[in-house]
Amino acid sequence: MKLNKNVARVPGMLTVLAIALAGFGQVHAAGVTDQDIVNDAITTHQVLSNGLGTKGQRYTPLKQVNVDTVKDLVPVWSFSFGGEKQRGQQSQPLIYDGKMYVTASYSRIFALDAKTGQKLWKYEHRLPDGIMPCCDVINRGAAIFGELVIFGTLDAQLVALNKDTGKVVWREKIADYKDGYSFTAAPQIVKGLLITGNSGGEFGVVGRVDARDPLTGKLVWTRPTVEGHMGFTYDKDGKAVENGISGTTNATWPGDLWKTGGAAPWQTAYYDPDVNLIYIGTGNPSPWNSWLRPGDNLYSSSTLALDPASGKIVWHYQNTPHDGWDFDGVNEFISFEYKDPKSGSVVKAGGKADRNGFFYVNDRTNGKLLNAFPFVNRIDWAKGIDLETGRPIYNEEKRPGNPFLQTADKPADGAAPAADAQTKGESVFNAPSFLGGKNQMPMAFSPETGYFYVPANEWGMDIWNEPVSFKRGAAYLGAGFTIKPLNEEYIGVMRAVDPVSGKVVWEVKNNAPLWGGVMTTAGNLVFYGTPEGYLKAVNATTGEEVWKFQTGSGVIAPPVSWEENGEQFIAVVSGWGGAVPLWGGDVAKRVNMLEQGGSVWVFKLHKS
């Protein structure tokens, strides 16, 4: 293992390293270590983390497949997830010791021989009838640690399986699915802890980040993401000890609304070892109807930086204070460096393409806003972001109308309205739609070009507010909506964004909304999938399309790459579904010809 750690830091030696390791069957006897995971971004023979490295840059230093050779990229194998139920496939595969671990819809996970696609084992989680996933029965991938592969299920459980046998080693409940909780993200291993969030912001759950011992599943700490809730650490007997309240009760929430405040961190957490912080985004405040909850409603629709030792919130930056559009703020915050054009000094930054249409650059050590600019063509809800205060400049007339102003029964601020108070406030048109300038599909960052590659969408929505009261396990929106395209020819746009200048450097339009993630490579390529079924490669500098392959169903998952015996492999999962067909209104009608699927594809260069 010493060889691995030391040699892996020299990029030129990577191929040699991979070949050397292939000869050492016993090297992996102890399984995946925390150091392996920290090194994931630079060790090219494996993919051990969601994001191809815990920073989540989704950049591979491999360059055998490059702008010149990619024309010879051909499929090696494909594997079907089978079953009668297909629906959306959003999983990022993991690669370890010649095996692929890939999750599928309906809380399934498969282990496959990475070279041949032969099935080694599968696990199908037994799901109860009453699960409440908001946005399809998807899963975004697993974590790997020691001898265990760990993934989350739609009934809000975590399951750890022996990586070689597929036998369940432990199973823990994150929360009660009957309350609207579910889990779809890929967990992340940070400093030997299993970091997870939860889903359920549409049901008035309480968002929470948890750290567990990955070998046992036992809780180490928990950090609620709604201001007013207490965090806890757990001693070795499992006894909860208070470790500080999150914020100040009622500082940004009226009355009791914080008790059902949402802010679900439903995406993967990322970790930057340089500054020792975990970054995770939080979803919408509950309910969507913002007239019921005056205030900023911390820590909803925010980027949070957490101390891995305790979960303490070290800093927060709220992208959409008092969110009234379900913009969430769950988009990934990706660490990167750039040279300050004025001082010439290197800035430790993070970038985030928010659902609300703005691209944010924050100082990742303290959260200070450094830059914010639109990455979509139309934004209605705000005129811009004030770089001094860090707050949006709202277009107040673009907040959906107050349903209670139209009734004699208008409640006092924060009070629940009478059930029969009013039916519908004024409907307003907003872009982006709540499906976002970018949604769950992760972007990529290339340290070589300095660009972020953002899978964006151009669409808007009619949105209005209605009275609503909280009922356990029931949708808690207080809003209605219809999603609408903005253009005839396209909705999706792959954009190369320069985070320093705030300029879009190039873009490639796509008819259907983009819903898969991105990977960029040292071969100057950007790989991404389309709902029309293509995995595409474009030139990272120019956006010129250089390769594509039809996978047979829509691609809404992020690609990965690794090397074995001197050959570079690329994999992506295919299977159309996700939130667009379920919530997409007029857009869903436009793309209703797309077929479901469920498979994983692997590619390498054809040797002539």
Which residues here bind Ca ion, judged by CB under 5 A?
Answer: 201, 283-284, 326, 328
| Cis amide prior to 360 (ω within 30 degrees) | no
Helix (H, G, I), strand (E, B) or coil at 406: helix
Question: Which of 201, 598 has the CB closer to Ca ion?
Answer: 201
Which member of 40, 296, 323, 326 is catalytic? 326
CB count, 10 Å around CB of 604? Answer: 22
Identity of the residue, 152 or 283, whose beta carbon is nearer to Ca ion in the bound complex: 283
300 vs 206: CA distance, rounded Å = 10
**413 flagged as catalytic:** no
Consecutive H or E run containing 162: strand 157-162
Closest separation in Å from C-beta 330 to Ca ion:
8
Find the shortest distance in angstroms from Cβ 283 to Ca ion.
5
Between 201 and 554, CB nearer to Ca ion: 201
The vertex-184 CA angle with 477 and 123, nearest 5°, equals 140
CB 334 within 8 A of CB 445: yes
Closest residue by beta carbon to Ca ion: 284
User: To which residue do tokens 């860090």 refer?
Assistant: 390
Query: How many helices (H) and strands (E) in the chain?
Result: 5, 40
Provide, rounded to whole angstroms, the least separation between the CB of residue 476 and Ca ion: 11
Q: Which is nearer to Ca ion, 201 or 558 (CB)?
A: 201
How far apart are CB 175 and Ca ion at their closest, in Å? 17
- The answer for residues whose C-beta is within 8 angstroms of residue 357's C-beta and 6 or more apart is 374, 375, 376, 378, 379, 381, 431, 432, 436, 437
Nearest to 149 by CA among 190, 110, 119, 113: 110
Closest distance to Ca ion from the beta carbon of 135 (Å)? 8
CA distance 494 to 435: 16
Instruction: Quote the distance between the C-alpha of residue 445 and its chain's center.
Output: 15
Q: Considering beta carbons, is residue 61 or 285 the nearer one to Ca ion? A: 285
The span from the CA of 453 to the CA of 537, in Å, is: 12
CA atoms in the 13 A half-sphere facing the CB of 530:
21
Q: How far is the CB of 182 from Ca ion (least distance, A)?
A: 12
Cβ nearer to Ca ion, comparing 434 with 490? 434
Catalytic machinery residues: 326
